[in-house]
């Protein structure tokens, strides 16, 4: 049984409930900046979803602009600091690889990270580019596959952006695996999510950039995942439960200080018996004034199958002024802010 979000172990203190506007209420939000995001989205063709999600860009209030058409889909887009490249992961038919593409599209470039030289290496995923653009973090997995379907060694690796000097910097040990690395804004630390097989729960950890001084940020029974640092380094946002549970347990967005204090619940979506409420992939804006996230509930846009799918939402760092930024028929999964900031302005519907 999953515990209800908002009930935390005593190791984390300072929980503050900040009520977000209820889902579905509509009012016009005048003068909102129109940011651009990189995302993974599932297009609609001939009245149906295409088989795979693909990396795209989208502006608030706009339409998806697909950048690649990978045979097995493309996911987890991440900008480089200058905004000139979008990195992502895909399956090349043999292993998972990291590629980059221009925000305007074009031919993708595959990074040679050394994984293909090891017959046991299953590949790299979830790229995170360092603030100075010189390194990336990936989640790398190796054979054998355990009877439960999990890789026997899935950990965080630090690699130079040219693919050299690949170094394993986390060692989850038997019964766990590491995912979703995120750099601190000064590049001295990173956060990531660790899954424990015996409980099925995720815990967020923080370590120095070389993997030393590893310590848990969230309590073991809190089930927290997918962290992202604020630009000033003072807060980390994440989702809980880390993965969709059931209609009685909506996913919510939280934030906490890097020392584990001042835990704040930012969203307060109520359960719905007809649908598992998903609220995930929270990402800070470059100026730290807003947080984008993906959300699914009975009021979000329906796809060609008539089922509500993910839309991008934006809120202030205290959880207020929730704005639905996209209303496309495509299913959207995550939103990474263009680091070059916002360019245009648009009227958006707020919750």
289-309 pLDDT, tens digit per residue, is 999 999 999 999 999 999 999
CATH number of the domain bearing residue 106: 2.120.10.30
Which pTM was predicted? Answer: 0.88
| Phi and psi angles of residue 5, each rounded to the nearest 5 degrees, phi first | -60, 145
247 belongs to a structural domain? yes
4 belongs to a structural domain? no
Q: Which two tokens stand for residue 120?
A: 């046991």
pLDDT of residue 153: 86
**What is d(CA 160, CA 155) in angstroms, rounded to the nearest whole number?**
17
From residue 323, alpha-carbon distances to 18, 110, 125, 248, 319 in Å are 16, 36, 30, 24, 11
11 belongs to a structural domain? no
pLDDT of residue 34: 83
Q: How many residues does the chain have?
A: 351
Q: Which two tokens stand for residue 249?
A: 């347990």
| CB-based contact 216:225 (threshold 8 Å) | no
Residue showing tokens 């549970």? 245
pLDDT of residue 245: 83
pLDDT of residue 33: 57
The range of the structural domain enclosing residue 127 comes to: 16-350
pLDDT of residue 246: 85
pLDDT of residue 162: 96
Percentage of the residues of the chain whose pLDDT score is greater than 90:
81
Widest CA span in the chain: 56
pLDDT of residue 174: 87
pLDDT of residue 346: 32
N-terminal to C-terminal alpha carbon distance within the chain = 30
Q: Which two tokens stand for residue 79?
A: 């900008």
| Residue numbers in the chain where pLDDT is lower than 50 | 1-32, 343-351
8 belongs to a structural domain? no
Q: Which two tokens stand for residue 318?
A: 């205290």
5 belongs to a structural domain? no
How many domains are there within the chain?
A: 1
163 belongs to a structural domain? yes
């Amino acid at each position: 049984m999953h515990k209800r979000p908002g009930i935390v172990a005593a190791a984390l203190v300072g929980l503050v409930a900040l009520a977000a506007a209820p889902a579905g209420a509509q009012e016009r939000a005048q003068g909102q900046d129109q940011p651009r995001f990189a995302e993974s989205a599932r297009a609609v063709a001939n009245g149906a979803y295409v088989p795979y999600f693909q990396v795209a860009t989208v502006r608030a209030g706009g339409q998806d602009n697909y950048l690649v058409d990978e045979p097995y889909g493309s996911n987890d887009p991440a900008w480089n600091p200058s905004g000139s490249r979008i990195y992502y992961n895909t399956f090349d038919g043999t292993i998972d690889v990291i590629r980059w593409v221009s925000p305007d599209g074009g031919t993708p470039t595959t990074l040679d990270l050394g994984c293909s030289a090891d017959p046991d290496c299953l590949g790299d995923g979830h790229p995170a580019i360092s603030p100075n653009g010189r390194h990336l973090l990936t989640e790398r997995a190796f054979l054998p596959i355990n009877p439960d379907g999990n890789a026997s060694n899935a950990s965080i690796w630090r690699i130079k952006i040219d693919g050299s000097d690949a170094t394993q910097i986390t060692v989850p040990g038997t019964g766990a695996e590491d995912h979703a690395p995120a750099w601190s804004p000064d590049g001295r630390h990173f956060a990531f999510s660790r899954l424990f097989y015996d409980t099925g729960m995720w815990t967020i950890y923080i370590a120095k950039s070389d993997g030393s001084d590893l310590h848990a940020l969230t309590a073991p029974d809190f089930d927290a995942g997918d962290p992202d640092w604020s630009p000033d380094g003072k807060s980390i946002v994440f989702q809980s439960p880390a993965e969709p549970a059931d209609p009685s347990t909506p996913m919510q967005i939280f934030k906490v200080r890097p020392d584990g204090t001042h835990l704040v619940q930012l969203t307060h979506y109520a359960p719905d018996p007809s649908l598992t409420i998903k609220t995930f992939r929270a990402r800070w804006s470059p100026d730290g004034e807003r947080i984008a996230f993906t959300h699914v509930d009975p009021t979000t846009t329906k796809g060609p199958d008539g089922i509500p799918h993910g839309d991008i939402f934006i809120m202030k760092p205290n959880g207020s002024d929730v704005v639905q930024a996209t209303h496309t028929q495509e299913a959207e999964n995550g939103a990474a802010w263009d680091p070059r900031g916002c360019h245009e302005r648009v009227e958006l519907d707020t919750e």
